[in-house]
Amino acid sequence: MSSFLGTRNLSRFVVLALVITLAIAITSVTVQSRSASASVATTNHGTPWSGEAGVTVLCSPTASYACVDSAYATWVKNPTGWAATLYYGTGCPSSASCYPSFNSYGPHNCTLYAAFELQKNGLASPGWSDNADNWATRAANHGVTVNQTPGVGSVAQWNSPSTDGHVAYVYNVTSSYIDITADNFYDGSSSSVPAGGWTDSYQIALNSPAMPDNFIHFGDASAPQPSSQNLLSNGSWGTGQFAPWTGISVNGGTTNYGAYSNSSIAQEGTTYAASNTSTRGGSIYQDVPASSSPGQSYTFSIWVKSSTSIPVSGMLSLLALGGTAENDLTDFTVGNTWTLVSAPLSITQSGHTDLRAQVYETTTGTTYYFDGGTLVSGSDQASSTGVVVTTTTTTTLPGATTTSVPGTTTATVAVEGNLKTAGVTVLFVSGESTLKSAAKSTLATLSKKLTSGASIIFTGYAKNNTALAKGRAEAVRNYLSSKVKIRFVLRMVTSSPANKVTVITTKN
């Protein structure tokens, strides 16, 4: 096997449960772990992906560079300096003197990424190169401090797997855990990870069996936080499989979906997803385990385009499940050009256990293309040159029908479930929150169609008037509750140019 690869034994790879880390603080704290000796350990600790206890996935394996320092994605397009000379090689990607593996995004190798970060931090060429399993010994032989004490900017090193070991970059250290990020060589032995290589990121408890065997202190520096961690698994469908995404069919229709590979269609790389629905409101989604707290915020973003010249419309939803559910929605209409759509969500309730990133399709008979799905903590959106679509007007929600009532469009009711009529739009006279007779008739008809367990989303709109928006949503909710037994949750969301109120209601 060629030198400098630092490969993994992929047969041991286990995809861990994705858990959201609520805050990743970059700090220069240095702590003592199990052994603080100033020597090279020859132990063989478990690796982060091998299923050891005390490991949290911060960024699931992705074919792109989404899990690492964003500067790396630019550098690998034209690698320079000693990191390129020692760990990239020449004649790439096909020459025997080219060391990384390659996919459509570019080169991948754990030693290449570690060298890049060290070079970026100002380290001069160490004067040697080797496989990852030999990094600790070679560094110590050249006077570099090697021990079992992590530090921000140090290199984490494992003597296993196989004969090549693994290295990663330490970008955060606390009194109870470390955060690492890495690039990974692909040797073709596993179909459970993106072919050609991938990036990933983990949080490892100090008492975990997966703690690195050694930490190499070339000259620790304050490490940059990786680009926003993607909490979705297989967000670009790089594994060639649609899972863990899935779809929902509504109102007796069919929602088709799958993962495909075609670089002429994909937004970036070669893989993407396609879906179509025979009835309005069919959707695709992915649930992510998340113990979020009030004050936290998340953004779900995905690239969307129509497969034909016919525009397609829909709605992005980011829903916090468990406890008191809450969500936010973004309408979109896109043509045959890739467009980035984002749905932010600010958490105001406690007790959530999961986040659901979902795309509702409201155009029937036309295929939607999706690529580059991301779910990130904070308000950061995926970096792109595309257009970010935000909700600025009132529209009928997925599967809804519209009833003409004189006045200004200011409230929407959508029902997700097995209903003959999925929803209605209720109109109010400008400046008022009182239901008119025509609106009451519309809601009375809707109430007769509700099925047990159906979820209802009320959205009230009133430009620059939160109180009026709240009053309108409550008026709709109160009238329906007089017709059917319901329980509800009211959440205020202020948006521009309209104020929006969302009420999630479930019939008993």
The region of weakest confidence among 50-59, 265-274, 282-291, 456-465 is 456-465
Q: Mean pLDDT of all residues in the chain?
A: 74
Whether 238 contacts 370, CB under 8 Å: no
Specify the pLDDT at position 455: 46
CA distances from 297 to 308, 341, 377 (A): 35, 17, 6
Q: What is the pTM of this model?
A: 0.45
Determine the average pLDDT of the residues in 33-61. 77
CA distances from 43 to 66, 133, 136 (A): 31, 11, 12
For every residue of 21-75, DSSP letters joined together read -S-----------S---SS-----PPPTTTT-TTEEEEEEEESSSTTS-HHHHHH
pLDDT in tens, 81-125: 999 999 999 989 888 889 999 999 999 999 999 999 999 888 889
Residue 131: strand, helix, or coil: coil
pLDDT in tens, 285-329: 999 888 778 888 888 889 999 999 999 998 899 988 888 888 888
Determine the average pLDDT of the residues in 191-210. 89
By CB atoms closer than 10 A (0-12, 13-18, 19+), residue 393 is: exposed
Specify the pLDDT at position 32: 34
> What confidence tier does 226 reach under pLDDT thresholds 50, 70, 90?
low
Q: Which two tokens stand for residue 286?
A: 């992915």
> What confidence tier does 430 reach under pLDDT thresholds 50, 70, 90?
low
Instruction: Indicate if the pLDDT at residue 282 is higher than 60.
Output: yes
Integer Cα distance of 117 and 132 in angstroms: 15
Q: Which two tokens stand for residue 398?
A: 């997925």
Secondary structure of 495-508 as H, E, C letters = CCCEEEEEEEEEEC
